[in-house]
Structure 1
C-alpha cells in the first residue's frame, strides 16, 4: 500500500517535472476520497535553498536520511551531470519502489538501478542514457515504462502519465481518475514519444536534386529505375549511394516523407483522411493509417485531435 512519497531535489532540478510529482502525490484531496500521502521533499542539506534549472530556488524541508522510510522515491528531472550526491545514490540503490520523470532516469542509472531493466527518458536524451548505462534497455518510443519496482517516464508531460499510472496501479482506477479530473488531464493517454519527435533533415548533397524532385511529387509512384534516371546513375549505383547518404532505402525514405506530409496536413487543414492520403501518395486511407501508425505511433484521427492547429 502506497502511504508515503519522498522527492529528492538537487541543484538543477526542473520545476515543471517537480511540480508534476507534487500535483499528483502531494496535494490533499481527501474530501474527494483520495488517500492522503505523507509527502516529503528532501535535499542534501534540509532548510537550504536548492537552485532550479530556471534560476529560482526551492527549500527542502527534509534531508536524504528520510528516503529509506518512504514507500516511493519519485525523482524529478534535473540537469544531467557526471556525478550526483553519494547519499542520494545510496538511497536510490536501496529503494523498494522508484519513479523517475524525464532526465531523472540518469540518477537511477548512476545508482545502478537500470542495469538489465527496461526504461525510458526524454527522446533527446535516450542515446546518452544508453551510452552512459549500456546494460540498461532503453526504449525511446514510449511515454513511460513500468518495469515493476522501477517506473521511468519520457519528457515533461509524460511524467503525468507515469505518475497517474502508478496511482492507478497502487491505489486504484477511481483514485487515478479523480486526480486526473482535478488536473484536467486524460487519465490515460495513447501513443508514445514518436508522435512528438521532429526528424532531422538528411544531408545528402549529391542526391539533393533528386530528393527535392521526389518531395515535389509525393503523390507519384517512383521506381528505383526512374529515380536513378533522374539522378543520372545506374540503378545499382543509385541504390548504393542512396543507402550510404540517407541510411535507408528509397522506398522507406519516400514513405517517411509522405507520413510527414500527412502529419502537416492533419495539423494545418481540415482535409479528410482520404483526401490527405491522395495528396501524400498513399492512395487509400487504409494505407495511410497503416504507415502513419507505424511511424508516428498514433492513428491519423487521434493525431489530429491532439495536434490540430485549427
Structure 2
C-alpha cells in the first residue's frame, strides 16, 4: 500500500473552504483503504490559529519536527500581507518547502512568492489580488489561468480550483479511478453512489459514456453485469468499452466494477450490522469467502476489521 505524508500549513484567518477542498479528497482516499495517508496541521508560529469564520485550530506538531513531506498544502489567510513582512515566521516555515509537491491556494501564493519560491516560475493567485501580486513580485510570471503547475509548485486562486489541483495530484499519484472516487463527495449527479453519496461527475475529464456506465454499475452492484451487457448499455463493442475505461479511469471495466462493489462492502461492514454473508450477497459476491478474499487482496485487511457496530 503506498504511503503519502502531507503537511498542511494554516495561516491566521485561513479559509475553511480552501482547507476542506484540499484535505477532504485525501481523507476519502485514506478512509477507503486505497492508500496510507498521514497529515499534520502546522502553523507559522507553532501555535493555534483561528479561521476567518472563528474556528480555532491547534497545530499537531512544530514545523521543526517535520523531516520530509510528499505534499505540502498551504492555506493562506486574510492577513497575508502582514505575514509576508514577518522575517521570523518566514525563516521558520522555509524548511517545510524543501521536498514534495507544494499546492498554494487563494492568498497562499503570496507567502510562497515572499519566500522567493516562485521566482522565475508561472503562478496564479485569487483574481482580486492578481494586479497587486504582479506589481509586488516582479520575478514571478503571473497568470490568469485557473491554476498553474510549474515543476513541484502548484498554485490556484480559489477553493474550487484547489479541489481540482488536489484531485489531479491524487490521480497522478494513485491513478484516475481513485481520483474519480475521491471526487464523489464534492460533485453532484442525479444518481446515487455506492454509499448513498452523489456519484462523481467530472464533466471536463470523463466522457458521458463512462459516467453513464459508472452510474449503471452503482445501481447493479447486487447483480453485476457481464462485459457484453455493459457494452450493450454503452452502445459500443467490448473492445471499445475496455479501451475507454483504461484511457479515462486507468483500469478495466471489470476492475472498476469490483472497486465499486468492494467500496460498498466496506461501507456496509463499517456502518451496518449485516453479516458477512449478507454483505457478500448485496455486493454481488457468490459467497462470503469470495468477498473475504477479494476484500483482503484489495485493502490488505479483513472485512471484519472495518466493523464499527457490534
TM-score, length-normalised on structure 2? Answer: 0.55
* Residues 1:136 and 1:152: Cα distance change in structure 2 (over 3 Å): same
Q: 1:38 matched to which residue of 2?
A: 38
The reply on whether 1:110 has 2:111 as its aligned counterpart is no
Q: 2:160 matched to which residue of 1?
A: 157
Q: 1:59 matched to which residue of 2?
A: 58
- Deviations along 1:97-151, whole A, 9 cap, x unmatched? 21111111111101111111011111111112211211111111x2211212111
* Residues 1:170 and 1:150: Cα distance change in structure 2 (over 3 Å): same
* Residues 1:146 and 1:134: Cα distance change in structure 2 (over 3 Å): same
Q: 1:132 matched to which residue of 2?
A: 136
Q: Shift in Å at residue 86 of structure 1?
A: 2.4
Superposition pairs of residues 43-122 of structure 1, within 5 angstroms: 43-44=43-44, 46=46, 48-79=47-78, 80-82=80-82, 83-84=85-86, 85-122=89-126
Report how many residues are paired: 188
SS at match of 1:112: coil
Is the CA contact 2:25–2:182 (under 8 Å) kept in the aligned structure 1? yes
Q: 2:20 matched to which residue of 1?
A: 19
Is the CA contact 1:68–1:95 (under 8 Å) kept in the aligned structure 2? no
Q: In the aligned structure 2, how far is the partner of 1:93 from the partner of 1:131?
A: 24
- Deviations along 1:204-252, whole A, 9 cap, x unmatched? xxxxxxxxxxxxxxxxxxxxxxxxxxxxxxxxxxxxxxxxxxxxxxxxx
The reply on whether 1:177 has 2:180 as its aligned counterpart is yes
Q: In the aligned structure 1, how far is the partner of 2:118 from the partner of 2:102?
A: 11
TM-score, length-normalised on structure 1? Answer: 0.55
SS at match of 1:69: coil
Q: Shift in Å at residue 78 of structure 1?
A: 1.4
Q: 1:143 matched to which residue of 2?
A: 146
Structure 1: gaps (5+ residues): 192-310
Larger Rg: 1
Structure 2: gaps (5+ residues): 189-199, 206-310
Q: Could you say what the CA RMSD is over the residues aligned between the two structures, in angstroms?
A: 2.4
Is the CA contact 1:109–1:115 (under 8 Å) kept in the aligned structure 2? yes
- Deviations along 1:58-98, whole A, 9 cap, x unmatched? 11211112444111111013122232412444225523421
Q: Shift in Å at residue 159 of structure 1?
A: 0.8
